[in-house]
Structure 1
Amino acid sequence: MTYLRGFAPWIAYGAVAWASWQWGALAGLVLGCLVLYLDRAEGLSPSLRLLDYGTLVFFAGITVVSFLRPDSGLRAYDGALSSGWLALVTWGSTAARRPFTLAIARRKAPPEVWRTSLFLRINYVLSAVWALSFTLAAVGQALVTAYGLGLTAMICIHVGVFVIPLRFTASYPERARARFLEKAGGRPYVQEARPA
């Protein structure tokens, strides 16, 4: 459930924003600050906290807009905006060669595997799956809003954007390790990659 901690501000926002856009944004901002504080307390490298920083930027902006202009037209598209922002952050983390999943994976994996090509490749794939999920969710949410397809369609997208990549994240690393070991003749983590 370490993935859910990083997304806690987004989940809180989605839950509270149904009732109040402003308080949902503020809840996301407060939880984003808490997650950043916890990551700093654990000594997580600033270069691996791209999701934390991206979360704070989004919620700081949306909090200001929601309190200054509660009737803003952006309110109707807040789901698409949040998914779109998460897509930008996750694609950006991959482009910056710091897949956002590295921060989460390093909490679980022993330090001796952090710089291996297998560990990095797994995290690039996981980050890409999350980024694709957020991208598709943003498009889907924008279409649901634009065409008035209703609450049920929006809830399905909100749930799917987390459930599908979470399930993939739970199963993919073991499958990738098994394939790697099969190809490497049982020698784990033989090749060290460039520093991340």
Structure 2
Amino acid sequence: MSYLRTFVPWIVFAVVPHAYWQWAALTAVVLSVLELGIRVRAGSKPEALVIELGTALFFAVIAVLAFANPETSLHDYVPALANGMLAIIAGTSLAIRVPFTLAIAKQTAPQEVWEEPLFIRLNYVLTTAWAICFVVGAVALAFLAYSPGPRFAVMVAVFVIPVVFTLRYVAHVRAQAEASEASA
């Protein structure tokens, strides 16, 4: 579950009450910069830090906006914008052929599988699933901008659905690979 650390700034921002969005954004900036620092010190290359860089940039912009104009009309659309940014990050990572889940998976997967086609394909599928959830979340949250009840449910679902899919899909692929090895 090391991938959850990557999403901590997003989760913190989502759960802090709406009225304190400036502080939630500032906290998210600090958390994202800390994670970025940890990953850089651990030797991660820039192409493996797409989500961390995008997260830091997004929350830096939101924090500046939030403190400069706390009453901005964009405030109600920030959850939709956050999901839109995550969709852009996921899409960019696919476009540059480094799915963001690949860097996360490498934190726990043995190095000998990193170049295997199955491992790489698995991460393309996972990143695509996350991207789809983020796009759906962005659209749903834009429509629900002034409706806080269902909006929180959508924000939770946007993370829970891909987490569950990730866990199940990885287990499924792993079981198939083990079955193939056993029959060979």
Alignment TM-score > 0.5, same fold:
yes
1:52 alignment partner AA: E
Identity of aligned residues (%): 41
Distance 1:179 1:59 in 2: 40
Distance 2:165 2:110 in 1: 21
Contact 1:118 1:177 in 2 (8 A): no
In the TM superposition, 1:112-191 aligns within 5 A as 112-145=112-145, 148=146, 150-180=147-177, 182=179, 186=183
In the TM superposition, 1:1-196 aligns within 5 A as 1-145=1-145, 148=146, 150-180=147-177, 182=179, 186=183
TM-score normalized by structure 2? Answer: 0.94
Closer/same/farther in 2, CA of residues 47 and 72 from structure 1, 3 Å limit: same
Distance 2:25 2:118 in 1: 38
Q: CA deviation at 1:182?
A: 5.0
Task: Provide structure 1 residue ranges, at least 5 long, that are not aligned to the other structure.
Answer: 188-196
Task: Provide structure 2 residue ranges, at least 5 long, that are not aligned to the other structure.
Answer: none
Contact 2:93 2:100 in 1 (8 A): yes
Q: CA deviation at 1:178?
A: 3.2
**Bigger Cα displacement from structure 2, 108-117 vs 173-182:** 173-182
2:122 alignment partner AA: I
Instruction: Specify which structure has the higher proportion of helix.
Output: 2
- Residues 7-63 of structure 1, C-alpha deviation per residue, up to 9 Å, x if partnerless? 011111112252312111101100000110111122222211100000011011111
Q: CA deviation at 1:122?
A: 0.4
Distance 1:173 1:156 in 2: 25
* Number of equivalenced pairs: 184
Contact 2:2 2:108 in 1 (8 A): no
Distance 2:183 2:36 in 1: 38
TM-score normalized by structure 1? Answer: 0.88
- Residues 135-178 of structure 1, C-alpha deviation per residue, up to 9 Å, x if partnerless? 10000000112xx4x22211110110111110111111121233
Distance 1:28 1:186 in 2: 48
Q: CA deviation at 1:123?
A: 0.3
Contact 1:50 1:89 in 2 (8 A): yes
Which residue does the alignment assign to 1:194?
none
Q: Structure 1 runs of 4+ off > 3 angstroms?
A: 177-187
Please report the RMSD computed on the Cα atoms of aligned residues, expressed in angstroms.
1.6
